């Protein structure tokens, strides 16, 4: 939820569009920026099956968790709009891979009779934070500008990413090794 709070698709798009406009980017450049960011998510979805098969779950979650704060800090130094989109695209590429592993755990560890309820609860909690994050991006941008938006994104997502460093997260089994509860 912490990463969703500050790095939702809509919130990140709002931040990079507003930043690109403040840098004087043309509408074409802004369109390319958003397209690059979205392409990252698409590419992540295309490789997520291979990532689930070949990369340890702990590594997948670690990369996904820390890509947000590192990406947000990198956005501070982006000299142009197109680079903003490429950086956000890199962050968005990690998300489908982490989601694939997570949903693999749900499928392996939750009985068939509870799958719908568990997925519904997970999606509700994931989506609950998004409107607050989007509003927060707008408020911070209006009052402090893009630098503070990206710093806030880095801080909040960095705190959320700390859970990826716990011993339990570093020793995760593969989803297919999890047993039905």
Name all domains of the chain by residue range, CATH numbers in brackets. Answer: 2-172 (1.20.1250.20)
Cβ-proximal residues to 5 (8 Å cutoff; 6+ apart), any chain: 129, 130, 132, 133, 136, 156, 160
Output the pLDDT for position 166: 95
**pLDDT digit string (tens) for 84-124?**
999 999 999 999 999 999 999 998 889 889 999 999 998 89
pLDDT-based confidence at 128, cuts 50/70/90?
Answer: confident
Q: What is the pTM of this model?
A: 0.89
Cβ-proximal residues to 31 (8 Å cutoff; 6+ apart), any chain: none
Output the pLDDT for position 5: 77
Output the pLDDT for position 178: 76
Output the pLDDT for position 180: 59
Above pLDDT 70, what percent of the chain? 98
């Amino acid at each position: 939820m912490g990463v969703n709070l500050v790095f939702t698709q809509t919130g990140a798009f709002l931040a990079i569009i507003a930043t690109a406009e403040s840098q004087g980017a043309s509408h074409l450049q802004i369109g390319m920026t958003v397209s690059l960011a979205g392409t990252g998510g698409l590419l992540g979805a295309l490789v997520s099956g291979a990532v689930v098969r070949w990369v340890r779950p702990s590594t997948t979650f670690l990369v996904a968790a820390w890509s947000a704060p590192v990406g947000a800090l990198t956005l501070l130094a982006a000299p142009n709009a197109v680079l903003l989109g490429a950086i956000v695209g890199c962050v968005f590429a990690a998300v489908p891979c982490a989601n694939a592993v997570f949903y693999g755990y749900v499928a392996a560890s939750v009985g068939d009779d509870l799958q719908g309820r568990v997925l519904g609860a997970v999606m509700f909690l994931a989506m609950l934070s998004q409107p607050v994050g989007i509003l927060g991006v707008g408020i911070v941008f209006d009052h402090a500008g893009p630098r503070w938006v990206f710093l806030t994104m880095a801080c909040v997502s960095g705190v959320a990413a700390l859970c990826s460093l716990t011993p339990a997260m570093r020793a995760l089994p593969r989803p297919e090794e999890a047993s039905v509860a």
